[in-house]
């Protein structure tokens, strides 16, 4: 008889050293819409958890999140000295926040069958297997 996989041992979407910063960046973009890296840094550095956060750390994190597909470039703002790029959440980024903030049990009690079917189809199309 095959062993049933444990759902309890599933890993969070973001884990490790930079998980807190990754989630914080995504939350800023979710709450405030498209932002430049400077604006994200300014918002985060005003919080107690990230009061000593440096701009290069935010820059690296946003670039990493862009590479992973959680954020993308929204538009460019041209100033007198340079061009600043605003970033916004992708659907993947929004889904990551949704799954982080809501326990799976709550998601499954609220989701409708048609929506579940669409999500399942998209996951299977991406190469995920049921068993």
Q: Would you say residue 101 has pLDDT above 50?
A: yes
What does the alpha-carbon distance between residue 6 and residue 38 come to, in Å, rounded to a whole number? 42
pLDDT at residue 11, as a whole number: 53
pLDDT at residue 60, as a whole number: 94
Domain ranges of the chain: 19-125
pLDDT at residue 12, as a whole number: 61
Q: Would you say residue 2 has pLDDT above 70?
A: no
Distances (CA, A) of 44 to 6, 34, 57, 66, 98: 36, 15, 11, 18, 20
Count of beta carbons in the 10 Å neighbourhood of residue 42: 14
Give 49's pLDDT tier (boundaries 50, 70, 90). confident
Q: Please state which CATH class domain 19-125 belongs to.
A: mainly alpha
Segment 39-48, tens digit of pLDDT:
999 999 999 9
Residue 103 phi, psi (nearest 5):
-65, 150
The residue-averaged pLDDT of 65-88 equals 89
Segment 63-74, tens digit of pLDDT:
999 999 999 999
> 62 with 78: CB under 8 angstroms?
no
């Amino acid at each position: 008889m095959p062993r049933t996989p444990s759902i309890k041992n599933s890993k969070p979407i973001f884990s490790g050293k930079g998980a807190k910063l990754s989630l914080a960046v995504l939350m800023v973009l979710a709450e405030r819409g498209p932002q430049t890296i400077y604006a994200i840094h300014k918002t985060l550095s005003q919080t107690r958890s990230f009061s000593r956060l440096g701009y290069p750390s935010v820059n690296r994190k946003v670039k990493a999140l862009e590479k992973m597909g959680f954020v993308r470039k929204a538009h460019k703002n041209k100033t007198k000295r340079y061009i600043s790029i605003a970033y916004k959440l992708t659907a993947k980024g929004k889904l990551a926040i949704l799954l982080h903030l809501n326990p799976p049990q709550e998601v499954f009690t609220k989701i409708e069958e048609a929506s579940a079917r669409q999500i399942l189809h998209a996951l299977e199309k991406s190469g995920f297997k049921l068993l």
